[in-house]
Amino acid sequence: MKLTELRGVIPPIVTPFDENGVLDLQSLANVTHHLIDGGVDGIFCLGSTGECAALTDGERQKIVRTVAEVAAGRVPVLAGITETSTRRAVQLGKLVIEAGAQAVVVAPPFYHRNSQNELIHYFRDLASELPVPVIAYNVPVLTKTALEPATVEILAREGTILALKDSGGDGNILREFLLKTRDIPGFTVLTGLEFQVDTALQMGVHGCVPGVGNVAPREYVELYELARNGEYHKARELQERMIKLFDICYQGSDQISGSASALSGFKSALRWLGIIKTAKMAPPMGSLTAEEEDKVREVLVSLGFLRN
Amino acid sequence: MKLTELRGVIPPIVTPFDENGVLDLQSLANVTHHLIDGGVDGIFCLGSTGECAALTDGERQKIVRTVAEVAAGRVPVLAGITETSTRRAVQLGKLVIEAGAQAVVVAPPFYHRNSQNELIHYFRDLASELPVPVIAYNVPVLTKTALEPATVEILAREGTILALKDSGGDGNILREFLLKTRDIPGFTVLTGLEFQVDTALQMGVHGCVPGVGNVAPREYVELYELARNGEYHKARELQERMIKLFDICYQGSDQISGSASALSGFKSALRWLGIIKTAKMAPPMGSLTAEEEDKVREVLVSLGFLRN
Amino acid sequence: MKLTELRGVIPPIVTPFDENGVLDLQSLANVTHHLIDGGVDGIFCLGSTGECAALTDGERQKIVRTVAEVAAGRVPVLAGITETSTRRAVQLGKLVIEAGAQAVVVAPPFYHRNSQNELIHYFRDLASELPVPVIAYNVPVLTKTALEPATVEILAREGTILALKDSGGDGNILREFLLKTRDIPGFTVLTGLEFQVDTALQMGVHGCVPGVGNVAPREYVELYELARNGEYHKARELQERMIKLFDICYQGSDQISGSASALSGFKSALRWLGIIKTAKMAPPMGSLTAEEEDKVREVLVSLGFLRN
Amino acid sequence: MKLTELRGVIPPIVTPFDENGVLDLQSLANVTHHLIDGGVDGIFCLGSTGECAALTDGERQKIVRTVAEVAAGRVPVLAGITETSTRRAVQLGKLVIEAGAQAVVVAPPFYHRNSQNELIHYFRDLASELPVPVIAYNVPVLTKTALEPATVEILAREGTILALKDSGGDGNILREFLLKTRDIPGFTVLTGLEFQVDTALQMGVHGCVPGVGNVAPREYVELYELARNGEYHKARELQERMIKLFDICYQGSDQISGSASALSGFKSALRWLGIIKTAKMAPPMGSLTAEEEDKVREVLVSLGFLRN
B1 contacts B260 by C-beta, under 8 angstroms: no
Give the Cα separation of C207 and C165 in Å (integer).
Answer: 9
A165 among known catalytic residues: yes
Whether C194 has its CB under 8 Å from any CB of chain A: the answer is no
pLDDT tier at C256, thresholds 50, 70, 90: low
Contact B195 D179 (CB under 8 A): no
pLDDT tier at D261, thresholds 50, 70, 90: confident
Minimal C-alpha gap between B256 and chain A (Å): 9
pLDDT tier at D255, thresholds 50, 70, 90: low
Testing the interface with D: which of B141, B181, B202 to mutate, by most D Cβ within 10 A?
A: B202
ipTM for the predicted complex comes to 0.96
Give the Cα separation of B267 and B201 in Å (integer).
Answer: 27
Give the Cα separation of D258 and C108 in Å (integer).
Answer: 15
Nearest by CB: A115 against B48, B116, B257: B257
Closest alpha carbon to B209 in B14, B68, B32, B43: B43
What are residue B6's phi and psi, to 5 degrees? -125, 125
- Residue D130, pLDDT above cutoff 70: yes
pLDDT tier at C2, thresholds 50, 70, 90: confident
Give me the mean pLDDT over the B194-222 stretch. Answer: 98
Which stretches within chain B are classed as H helix? 25-37, 57-71, 86-98, 116-129, 140-143, 149-157, 171-181, 197-203, 217-228, 232-245, 253-256, 264-272, 290-302
Minimal C-alpha gap between A26 and chain B (Å): 21
- Residue B26, pLDDT above cutoff 70: yes
Contact A243 C195 (CB under 8 A): no
In chain C, residues with a C-beta closer than 8 Å to the C-beta of D117 are: 254, 286
Residue of A nearest to C230 (CA): A232
Give the pLDDT of residue C259.
80
Whether C170 has its CB under 8 Å from any CB of chain A: the answer is yes
Give the pLDDT of residue C24.
98
In chain A, residues with a C-beta closer than 8 Å to the C-beta of C203 are: 198-199, 236
Give me the mean pLDDT over the B163-183 stretch. Answer: 98
Which pLDDT tens digit goes with each residue over C95-109? 999 999 999 999 999
Look over chain B and give the mean of its residue pLDDT values, rounded to a whole number.
96
Testing the interface with D: which of B180, B196, B198, B234 to mutate, by most D Cβ within 10 A?
A: B196
Active site residue: B122, B165, B220, B224, which one? B165
pLDDT (tens, 9 = 90+) of chain A, 308 residues, equals: 679 999 999 999 999 999 999 999 999 999 999 999 999 999 999 999 999 999 999 999 999 999 999 999 999 999 999 999 999 999 999 999 999 999 999 999 999 999 999 999 999 999 999 999 999 999 999 999 999 999 999 999 999 999 999 999 999 999 999 999 999 999 999 999 999 999 999 999 999 999 999 999 999 999 999 999 999 999 999 999 999 999 999 998 776 666 888 899 999 999 999 999 999 999 999 999 999 999 999 999 999 999 98
In chain B, residues with a C-beta closer than 8 Å to the C-beta of A110 are: 53, 110-111
Minimal C-alpha gap between B119 and chain A (Å): 7
Whether C230 has its CB under 8 Å from any CB of chain A: the answer is yes
- Residue C254, pLDDT above cutoff 80: no
Secondary structure (3-state) at C105? strand
In chain C, residues with a C-beta closer than 8 Å to the C-beta of D55 are: 85, 88
Whether B74 has its CB under 8 Å from any CB of chain A: the answer is no
Contact A110 B112 (CB under 8 A): no
* C-beta atoms surrounding A87 within 10 Å: 18
pLDDT tier at B246, thresholds 50, 70, 90: very high
Minimal C-alpha gap between B80 and chain D (Å): 25
Give the Cα separation of B258 and A112 in Å (integer).
Answer: 10
Give the Cα separation of A71 and A94 in Å (integer).
Answer: 20
Give the pLDDT of residue C257.
63
Give the pLDDT of residue B256.
62
For residue D55, give every residue at least 6 positions away whose Cβ sits within 8 Å of its Cβ, in sequence order, or none.
C85, C88, D15, D46, D63, D282
Closest alpha carbon to C121 in C133, C132, C109, C131: C109
Whether C169 has its CB under 8 Å from any CB of chain A: the answer is yes
Closest alpha carbon to C246 in C275, C274, C272, C266: C266
Give the Cα separation of A112 and B54 in Å (integer).
Answer: 8
What are residue A129's phi and psi, to 5 degrees? -85, -25
Give the pLDDT of residue C249.
94
Which pLDDT tens digit goes with each residue over C236-251? 999 999 999 999 999 9
Give me the mean pLDDT over the C147-176 stretch. Answer: 98
With pLDDT > 70 as the criterion, what percentage of chain C qualifies?
Answer: 98
Contact B284 A254 (CB under 8 A): no
Nearest by CB: A196 against C172, C193, C204: C172
